Amino acid sequence: MANRYFTVSWDQLHRDARALAWRLLDKGPFQGVVAITRGGLIPAAIIARELDCRVIETVSVVTYDEESMGKPQVVKAPVAAGDGTGWLLIDDLVDTGTTAKIVRALLPGAHFATIYAKPAAKPLVDSFVTEVSQDTWILFPWDTEVQFVPPIAKGGVTPA
């Protein structure tokens, strides 16, 4: 279970996705982008824009729901990306490596990039922007809403 929380705002996500695009610029050009759904959809759109890439494909792997881990399942494989050679594979985060191992097997030739990486799975990606500790749960803007938080001294969430 996560002991820390790292809240990512829409502005921060956009800045970090653009920073990743900047790092990827000299790795291309890419034939297209494969977004790992759902978390990789928004970063992939931002990165595709910044790299002027118009072809976007998706892969969907279900590994958990909001409450528990399940058996990983590919529910939608990419159609046009072949073995991934010349393609850019994008996700928001690499955490335990469960999804990463599955998509690596599907697209072994792709350049795999994530915005955030945790130590357990960091070796599975080719590029990332920010490393966070394994015990940190990242709160993405599509999973949160703005609300009052008490001060840390009164039980509020501590910084990551």
Q: Which residues are catalytic?
A: 91-92, 95
Task: Answer yes or no: is 130 a known binding residue.
Answer: no
Q: Residue 117: beta bridge partners?
A: 94, 131
The reply, when asked if residue 138 is annotated as ligand binding, is yes
Residue 93 labelled as part of a binding site: yes
The answer to the question of whether 85 is labelled as a binding residue is no
79 annotated among ligand-binding-site residues: no
Q: Does the annotation list 11 as a binding residue? A: no
99 labeled binding residue: yes
Question: Which residue from 6, 115, 132, 118 is spatially nearest to 50, judged by alpha carbons?
Answer: 115
**Hey, what are 89's tokens?**
């594979």
Token output for 129 = 């922007």
**In the block, which residue shows the tokens 């191992």?**
101
Q: Annotated binding residue at 96?
A: yes
92 marked ligand binding residue: yes
26 assigned to a ligand binding site: no
Q: Annotated binding site for guanine: which residue ranges?
A: 95, 138
Q: Annotated binding site: which residue ranges?
A: 38-39, 91-99, 137-138
Q: Annotated binding site for xanthine: which residue ranges?
A: 95, 138
Q: Annotated binding site for GMP: which residue ranges?
A: 95-99, 137-138
